[in-house]
Amino acid sequence: MLPPKSSWSPSATVEILQTRAKLMAGIRDFFSKRQVLEVETPLLSHGTITDPHIQAIPALFIGAEKKTVFLQTSPEYAMKRLLAADVGAIYQICKAFRQGEIGKLHNPEFTLLEWYRPGFDHHDLMDEMSDLLQCILQTKPIVRLSYHEIFETYLKINPHTASFVELAICAEKNQVDMVSDLSDRNAWLNLLLSHCIEPHLGQENPVFVYDFPASQAALAKIRPENPPVASRFELYFKGVELANGFHELLDAKEQRKRFEADLLFRKQQGLGASSIDERFLAALEKGLPDCAGVALGIDRLMMLALGCPSIKEAMSFHFEHA
Amino acid sequence: MTVYTTNEIRNGMKVMIDGDPCVILANEFVKPGKGQAFNRIKIRNLKTGRVVERTYKSGDSLDGADVVDIDAQFLYSDGMHWHFMSSETYEQYLMSEAEVADTKLWLKEQAECLLTLWNGTPLAVTPPIFITLKIVETDPGVRGDTSGGGGKPAKLETGAVVRVPLFVQEGELVKVDTRTGEYVSRAKE
């Protein structure tokens, strides 16, 4: 329910805003000392993502003609276009927007810290992220566990080989009563991860989960091992997903194939249509330096650092107060 | 029939789950950054009182349940059925002993209650928070004890048994909190 229109007050306290500002300054200082360049990229873009589980918020631009443009869901494509222009190591703190996402850990408008490191792979970037968190939040050292390991530890199941039915039985055994029809194996894996594993992750030391199934590679390189795994990682702290990173896919042809697969999946599942961002693909064709990149949710980080019950209390005005 | 999608679901809404009317207690949006979004919904079954948790794909829909609360007066019980009358329409409703369940211990004739109707049929009855009932049976208290510490059991005219202070006697009226089943004070007619 929306608060009354006359409710003008912020959702965060002044103390929280001051601490937030201090942490932001700490982040900028961290990158400045390491000669990582701060950049800004458009929040309003002509293109958007194909990712089936992320929907962009459209906006209407009225110029010579009316055109639907999109609030960016992440600065990833624009930042990679900068990398293709040989800008070197870059970071950005910006707003990102996602349609329909609202809850204890979601706000349709949120703040991301995203950075890219030419010459790094995903493990090098995990090292740097670990330094950042210990530097600004004094966290304990970050533990690394593979996607395979967390499923074996918490659910005694192999996420790479388990069948559809085995995943469904596993959910049932763990008191997850799934009502909807999940026709996609990755959806079952996401259900188990979010409901049964995530709450346990990072309760003491923050945890990096790495080497995701190839079917969840997104924009990460896939390594042809047995089974093939994606050079993708996520950070979990106190049961909350905080960051997602990749050893970035550089192959424009492979990238186009993944985009086309996304579009097909969207069509099959009756999700909204989208289109391929050709400017991003053109940058990949020109060539990107070998690099790793990661995006970290700043509001969630603040929420955990400040002991807030939800992200609402960590931002000046959450969506219902905006 | 109203249909709600998972993002319209709010606490207190009544929906149909497994053919039973249920009330929403919590609706949590769960979404891995790159994965399928889910809604974890906590519900209480209004027929059985059981609380369960269900997960839906975000965007899926649930049927609304035609559940309304009306003000009603408890008329009488014939031993088989408990009879109520709508305070607004004067329409009469009846509930079986199993349906009124433990609430029967707090139903006194002419009491104003809240009747929960599902498709026009009573599902549950909520008695007034405070009711005044007569003590029909209790041990005589110890003379001079006015502290109320300890207390003793007293049987009320509806059959309910509550702990009352030692100085309260058989035949007296007491005010009781029906939410906790606890004695509040002595009362006058």
Q: Complex ipTM, two decimals?
A: 0.91
Residue B66 has what pLDDT? 94
Residue B65 has what pLDDT? 96
Asked if A179's CB is within 8 angstroms of B54's CB, the reply is yes
- B57: chain A residues, CB-CB within 8 Å: 180, 182, 187
Residue B147 has what pLDDT? 57
Angstrom distances, CA of residue A53 to CA of A140, A172, B35: 32, 24, 6
Q: Which stretches of chain A score pLDDT less than 70?
A: 1-3
Residue B149 has what pLDDT? 61
Residue B102 has what pLDDT? 87
Nearest Cα to Cα of residue A73 among A63, A59, A86, A85: A59
Percentage of chain B exceeding pLDDT 90: 80
- B10: chain A residues, CB-CB within 8 Å: 1
Percentage of chain B exceeding pLDDT 70: 95
Asked if A103's CB is within 8 angstroms of B28's CB, the reply is yes
- A241: chain B residues, CB-CB within 8 Å: 32-33
Residue A183 has what pLDDT? 82
Residue B141 has what pLDDT? 67
| Cα end-to-end distance, chain B, whole Å | 47
Per the CB < 8 A criterion, the answer to whether A279 and A47 are in contact is yes
Residue B33 has what pLDDT? 87
Asked if B36's CB is within 8 angstroms of A179's CB, the reply is no
Chain A nearest C-alpha distance from B71 (Å): 26
How far is Cα B75 from Cα B93, in angstroms, rounded to an integer?
A: 10
- B31: chain A residues, CB-CB within 8 Å: 53, 101, 103, 106, 194
Which residue of B34, B56, B58 is in closest CB contact with A179?
Answer: B56
Residue B20 predicted with pLDDT over 80: yes
B71 in contact with A, Cβ within 8 Å:
no
Q: B44-87, pLDDT tens digit by residue? A: 999 888 999 999 999 999 999 999 999 999 999 998 999 999 99
B45 φψ region: left (φ > 0), alpha (ψ -120 to 50), beta (else): beta
How far is Cα A263 from Cα A275, in angstroms, rounded to an integer?
A: 7
